[in-house]
Homo-oligomer: A and B are copies of this chain.
Amino acid sequence: MHSAPPSGGGGGVKLEVCLTPALIPLYKVEDYIVVVIDIFRATTSICYGIENGAEAIIPVSQVEECSAYHEKGFDYLLAAERDGKVVEGFDFGNSPFSYTKEKVAGKTIVLTTTNGTHALHLSRSAKKIVLGAFINITSLCNWLKQQNENVLLVCSGWKNNFNLEDTLFAGAVVEQLKNSGFVIDDSAIAANDLYQLAKDDLDGYLKKTSHSERLKKLGIEADIAFCLNVDIATAIPVLDGERLVKL
């Protein structure tokens, strides 16, 4: 382990990166603030929706769970995609462009996201669960610096597998926090080094990744480009029961 710099502001608390949800059980999450990361596209869309005044966003893993909210008569917007297309009868899909002020202000949205929901579920005993994306990164990091708590950055990955885009974002968070006195682990070092390599051309670097290829086949390159915008939002979504609301 790195020892904490003597002048650090974090008091020697830990900053660690959990590279896939399958590794969450290795951590005593009740000792951490957990940041859930699913850059393409769930946490980006949710951060953007909360920024734009959505009252709450409820993440679920299955399209069927999402429809159930409609059947119960709730007046919620429902977001679900299959193969890159909005599922029939739903209000919209997972594109961040659907989460504009005009569409979401004052609304509650039920959003289907397999990997993100899985990560949230496994982290549920954490001290607090917040969501991060490039669009709110500096706001998130400033808040994390003030907490004096252990921080676990959880990459949602793809079906429990490691992915590069979530790891790069974790590395970008480490970049902002690493001189604030946190003790960092090997995966935080690795994520930060990968971010250093990629930061001057995130989009170019991510062209190498598996998920980027998948998303391109779905014709949603514009979404990907949007997800790499930095600091266009300041809202931080926090989990309150089953609902993500503004911190």
- Which A residues are closer than 8 A to B by beta carbons? 1-2, 19-20, 22-23, 26, 159-164, 167, 185-187, 189-190, 193-194, 197, 208-211, 213
Given A2-B208, A197-B197, A208-B2: A186 touches B162 (CB 8 Å cut-off): yes
Q: Are A26 and B19 in contact (CB under 8 A)?
A: no
Tell me whether A187 and B162 are in contact (CB under 8 A).
Answer: yes
B160 touches A26 (CB 8 A): yes
**In the complex, how many angstroms separate the beta carbon of A185 from the nearest chain B beta carbon?**
6
Residue picked from A22, A162, A197, A209, most chain B C-beta under 10 Å: A162
Q: Which residues of B contact A19 (CB under 8 A)?
A: 19, 162
| 8 A-B pairs with least C-beta separation | A162-B187, A164-B186, A1-B210, A163-B186, A186-B210, A189-B208, A186-B209, A26-B160
A20 to B27 alpha-carbon distance, docked (Å): 14
A192 to chain B, nearest CB (A): 10
Which residues of B are found within 8 Å of A190, using beta-carbon distances?
162, 164, 167, 190, 194
Q: Which residue of B lies closest to A196 (CB)?
A: B197
In the complex, residue of chain B having the shortest beta-carbon distance to the beta carbon of A27: B161
List B contacts of A211 (CB < 8 A).
186
Establish whether residues B160 and A23, one from each chain, have CB atoms under 8 Å apart when the complex forms. Answer: yes
Contact A23 B26 (CB under 8 A): no
Given A26-B161, A162-B186, list of 18 further CB < 8 A pairs?
A: A1-B213, A19-B19, A19-B162, A20-B23, A23-B160, A26-B159, A26-B160, A161-B187, A163-B186, A164-B189, A164-B190, A186-B209, A186-B210, A186-B211, A190-B194, A193-B194, A193-B197, A194-B194
In the assembled complex, the CB of A5 is this many whole angstroms from the nearest CB of chain B, namely: 14
